[in-house]
Amino acid sequence: MPDMLGLRRIVGFSALALWLSGCGATHQVTQGEPAIDQSALREPQPFTRLDPQRYTPEAWPEPLRAHVLLPSTQSSALRPAALVVHGGGWRNRGPEDMERIAEQLAAQGYVTVNIEHRFAPDYRFPAQLHDLQQAMAWIHANAATWQIDTDRIVGVGFSSGAHLVSLLALAGSDGPLADPYGGEHARLAAVMAGGLPSDLLKFDDGRLVVDFIGGTRAERPEAYALASPARQITAKAPPFFLFHGSWDQLVPVDHATDFYAALKAQGTPSELYLQRGRGHVTSFLLRGSAIEAGIAFLNRQVSLREAAYPSG
């Protein structure tokens, strides 16, 4: 049955979040466009919630599950999908943190796949990226059943989850990080990333990053560079929507502003939504209109891609 309770919860939560974000005063850095292009947001639709299911093969080091939401559409047309990844410093938390965002995406017509991944320090980089590449292979394997247009899969994440989807988007299909689990199936059409740690070499040698990489910057400089989305930007980079708290002390705002500038410098369609007076956690808890703006951005990108490459 369609999850009508979840749909009502989205509408109510979104209204509250929009009110709160208005009080916190957010703004967007673009070419003078409004923060939310309302024409790109669709009327929310009901969706069906599947039981969590394993997306990793039997031989994978850990069994990992995905929480899948299916829009309740009557049409046989193919639909976009969203790979959603939670934060937690690569070492904890779970898909429940991203449930509200996943519901908002499903209500906008995305088949939403909200995943678990392996944790540091038991598993170090690039193990978590391998999990995302495997999740993409699983989405492709289920594409016919779930009516997914595999050319319109987007990535959505916050904090370390934003790092992982960004790295997947930039290096998961080509180059050294594509081997052995990446490839064409790991390609993303667009990304929404909040609180993104874009350049790991900017951090001091704190426990979170050292545990994730498996050494300090001096000990493993090549791994730090390889694991930094800002250092993996190529001409193939997909469009990015970034949101970030201007008072973020955990992931300073220059991670977003420098990354955005690098994308814009090479002509990659991108938007940066700065949340004034927000820290790392409050930029997520009071994300409000940032998510509305981000989903509108994703809607525009998948619509452009559908027009350019019709699925049928």
CA distance 121 to 128: 11
Q: How many Cα neighbours within 13 Å face the side chain of 17?
A: 21
Structure tokens at 207: 């426990």
DSSP 39: G
What pLDDT does residue 308 have?
A: 74
Q: Could you please report the per-residue DSSP string of 273-288? A: EEETT--HHHHHHT-T
Q: What's the pLDDT at 73?
A: 85
Single out the residue of 198, 188, 135, 192 nearest to residue 163, CA to CA.
198
Domain count of the fold of the chain: 1
Mean per-residue pLDDT, 250-272? 97
81 beta partners: 111, 153
The CATH number of whichever domain residue 271 belongs to comes to: 3.40.50.1820
Please, which pLDDT band fits residue 296 given cuts at 50, 70 and 90?
very high
Largest CA distance in the chain: 56
Give the domain range for residue 281: 4-308
- The position carrying tokens 């937690």 is 88
Looking at the predicted structure, is the pLDDT value of residue 15 above 80?
Answer: no
Tell me the C-alpha distance between 255 and 91, whole Å: 20
